[in-house]
Structure 1
Amino acid sequence: MNIQTYIINDVEIQPVKNTVKELQKLFNQLTYSHLPIVSEGEFIGSISENDIRCFENNNKISEYKHAIEVFYVHENDNWLDILEKFARYNSNIMPVLEEGNNKYLGYLELNDVISIFNETPFLSEAGSILVIEKGFKDYSFSEISQIVESNEAKILGLFISELENDVAQITIKIGLSSINEVIQSFRRYNYKVLSTHQEDAFLKNLKDRSDYLNKYLNI
């Protein structure tokens, strides 16, 4: 997806010669976590509101260059890479530079990039969400795809949603279809199914047997 249409310039890049007080006033009017900074016409990074609130009002930003964080994306970067940078730098604004010469073009807002994700089939198409778990070294996306597609189901998207102690949780969105066969296939391949589904015949049978046993014991 082309992110160039999402680049905005509603707030001018701030000169490093500005005072802390000037940036504090600007932050008061905005909801951004950071503001891009320029020195002699060249983008040098962004400064956070949290830091600005701690500095002396009458000092210039140039006296706090150590607090300027250098993060940005290029105009042709993939939106998933951009979303990852938003998360890594805990920012809701992302400076965009021109490929090749690093000229400042504007910035992206986090909500706009998230809206791109909302338009993907993973979220926009109807389907079932399945969460499975297996050792990090024991699973493969090709195997997961083969399990799903061998049961005549289609994958709308999948990703590693958690990784801890060498165990991976994988979230899969499957197109509208009966997923009981898919669930049972994953169990046969030693995947642990974490999500619950009304169509899960295995769990339904366990519940029915448990209810029968409890009824028998209570006689």
Structure 2
Amino acid sequence: MTVITDYINNDYRALDSQETILAAQDFFMDASYSHFPVLDAGVYIGSIVADDLETFDTDKKVGDYKYTLEPFFVRPNMIWLDVLEVFGKNHSDIVPVLDENNHYVGYYELADVMKFFNETSFIKEAGGIIIVKKALIDYSMSQITQIVESNNGKLLGLFVSDSDNETIEITIKVTLGVINDIIQTFRRYNYEIISEHNEDNYINNLKERSDYLDKYLNI
């Protein structure tokens, strides 16, 4: 079984604070990352931003711009969803990994973490996606689970895909075969169905009635 720590990478060594900005620019020309970790005497001090390098004096050292480094990192024991959150919050395609003693271990690449995500049941198993919307104060994850399972469906995963101060959208993946029953039950519990489904009898009936009305009015 693959675990996320299998993706800790050391293909490139971390940049040293004593390297010149020119050397760092040359590195990013080859590696094409958005960020990369910097060590000072072997200690992680932050990640340098590739775009920032364009404005730096090439004769100076990386350590001269210590104040521009971004200090984000993850631990080896963090679950992949928390790791993915760090990627998103920092708009980076690289995240450094530090152990419990703050020693630099290596780094994760976003492409590898997404590969790990693709191996989860949410992506890998066959199923259908339903996106529902409801008032923020009224929704319940336990109710969503109950709706799926009460219609003999199997929940493969769900997550909050959008929200504001009033409403929340939840993306749900369920086994195929009972999607229409699940959709209709969500409607009975006042969930708005955001996604479109060929199996949605309610919408199909509305379309048929609309087509019939159009045909009648054009007679």
Aligned partners of 1:15 and 1:180: how far apart in 2?
58
Work out whether residues 178 and 199 of structure 1, in 8 Å CA contact, stay in contact via their aligned partners in 2: no
Aligned partners of 1:206 and 1:184: how far apart in 2?
14
Matched, 1:86 2:87: yes
Displacement of 1:98 in angstroms is 1.0
Letter in 2 for 1:31: S
Aligned to 1:58: 59
| Equivalenced residues, count | 218
Work out whether residues 71 and 95 of structure 1, in 8 Å CA contact, stay in contact via their aligned partners in 2: yes
Q: Deviations over 1:88-112 (max 9, x none)?
A: 111111111112x111011111100
Aligned partners of 2:214 and 2:43: how far apart in 1?
74
Q: Which runs of 5+ in 1 are unaligned?
A: none
1:1-219 mapped onto 2 (5 Å cutoff): 2-99=3-100, 101-219=101-219
Displacement of 1:176 in angstroms is 1.7
Work out whether residues 160 and 171 of structure 1, in 8 Å CA contact, stay in contact via their aligned partners in 2: yes
Work out whether residues 151 and 178 of structure 2, in 8 Å CA contact, stay in contact via their aligned partners in 1: no
Displacement of 1:4 in angstroms is 2.0
Q: Deviations over 1:137-171 (max 9, x none)?
A: 11010000111111111110111111124211111
Letter in 1 for 2:32: T
Aligned partners of 1:56 and 1:76: how far apart in 2?
38
Percentage of matched positions with identical amino acids: 49
Aligned partners of 2:76 and 2:3: how far apart in 1?
9
Work out whether residues 129 and 171 of structure 1, in 8 Å CA contact, stay in contact via their aligned partners in 2: yes
Q: Which runs of 5+ in 2 are unaligned?
A: none
Aligned partners of 1:46 and 1:109: how far apart in 2?
14
Work out whether residues 2 and 76 of structure 1, in 8 Å CA contact, stay in contact via their aligned partners in 2: no
Give the alignment's TM-score, normalised by structure 2. 0.96
Displacement of 1:73 in angstroms is 0.6
> How well do the aligned residues superpose, as a CA RMSD in angstroms?
1.1
Aligned partners of 1:110 and 1:142: how far apart in 2?
31
Q: Is the partner of 1:53 in helix, strand or coil?
A: helix
Displacement of 1:61 in angstroms is 1.5
